Amino acid sequence: MSRRKLIIGNWKMNNGPMEAHQFLHDLEDELKNEKIAKDVDFAIAAPFVALPFMIGHSHEEGKEAFYLPLAAQNFHYEEKGAFTGEISLDMLDQLGLEYLIIGHSERRQLFNETDEIVNKKLLAALKTQMTPVLAFGETESEFDANKTETVIKNQLTSSLKSVKENEMEKIVLAYEPIWAIGTGKTASPEQAQKAVAFARTVVAELFNSDIADKVIIQYGGSVKPENVKELMGQKDIDGALVGGASLDAKSFAKLITFDKQK
């Protein structure tokens, strides 16, 4: 089964409209001489305030050739109402976004998002045209205690609760060991491959092996131009969710042209 690769840059709380403007111009320059492989998709999950501006840029006159798909880092699962400070899925749909990150460990750990909330968000996202990217992964102490597989199984089982087979086909998964996020401590390609392959078996158990074969599973955690090619070369790893190394256009260009890296 040959699956497409998907590289998503997650800017987190970095790069506002002004930095996004610079990024887009620099990225266009970087990609002038580099071809992105046909089987690679990519996107940037920018802060909410930068998104409308970036959509505008993609559609600027004379710029049709350059289109940067966009993702949201967060949203509320309720349709609308008195939720001060929150953003609804309909608002994001109106912008024409393509992906929604759900269940990132920073949301889970710093903003108390439980598996139940993650599940509610996922079920709400499935009612839209946007593709949910569901993140999961173990903490350092769980990794040290050899609990990686148990955590992956539990998180996927509860986050994917009530998801139907035809809906699962629309979901992207992102394995992100928490100890590797923003720490410079990347999982070795073998560790990442093993965990991602295990996640695929969980999908096979929860749904079926055909769906498990097709589901795109990214790896995330200190992915950078220097290690992206080897990680992407692993049998079960279908892309990357990248924080720090996606902030700069030169580095992001290298990530999405990983097949050309050393």
Binding residues for ligand PGA, rule: CB under 6 A, are: 10, 176, 181-182, 220-223, 241-245
User: Which is closer to ligand PGA, CB of 155 or CB of 222?
Assistant: 222
Question: What is the nearest approach in angstroms of ligand PGA to the Cβ of residue 250?
Answer: 16
User: Which is closer to ligand PGA, CB of 57 or CB of 118?
Assistant: 118
Question: What is the nearest approach in angstroms of ligand PGA to the Cβ of residue 237?
Answer: 14
Residue 213 near residue 201 (C-beta atoms within 8 A): no
> Which residue's Cβ lies closest to ligand PGA?
243
User: Which is closer to ligand PGA, CB of 100 or CB of 245?
Assistant: 245
Task: Output the six-digit token pair for 62.
Answer: 């004379």
Vertex 203: Cα angle to 130 and 205 (nearest 5): 145
**Which position among 106, 113, 138, 176 bears the catalytic label?**
176
User: Which is closer to ligand PGA, CB of 125 or CB of 207?
Assistant: 125
User: Which is closer to ligand PGA, CB of 207 or CB of 249?
Assistant: 249
Q: What is the 3-state secondary structure (H, E, C) of the chain?
A: CCCCEEEEEECCCCCCHHHHHHHHHHHHHHHCCCCCCCCEEEEEECCCCCHHHHHHHHCCCCCCCCCCCEEECCCECCCCCCCCCCCEHHHHHHHCCCEEEECCHHHHHHCCCCHHHHHHHHHHHCCCCCEEEEEECCCHHHHHCCCHHHHHHHHHHHHCCCCCHHHHCCCEEEECCHHHCCCCCCCCHHHHHHHHHHHHHHHHHHCCHHHHHHCCEEEECCCCCCCHHHHHCCCCCCEEEECHHHCCHHHHHHHHCHHHCC
User: Which is closer to ligand PGA, CB of 173 or CB of 181?
Assistant: 181
Question: What is the nearest approach in angstroms of ligand PGA to the Cβ of residue 134?
Answer: 12
Question: What is the nearest approach in angstroms of ligand PGA to the Cβ of residue 107?
Answer: 10
Question: What is the nearest approach in angstroms of ligand PGA to the Cβ of residue 104?
Answer: 6
* C-alpha to C-alpha distance for 145 and 76, rounded to whole angstroms: 34
Q: Is 21 a catalytic residue?
A: no
**Which position among 104, 106, 113, 138 bears the catalytic label?**
104
Question: What is the nearest approach in angstroms of ligand PGA to the Cβ of residue 63?
Answer: 28
Q: Is 142 a catalytic residue?
A: no
Residue 178 near residue 105 (C-beta atoms within 8 A): yes
- Active centre residues (catalytic): 104, 176
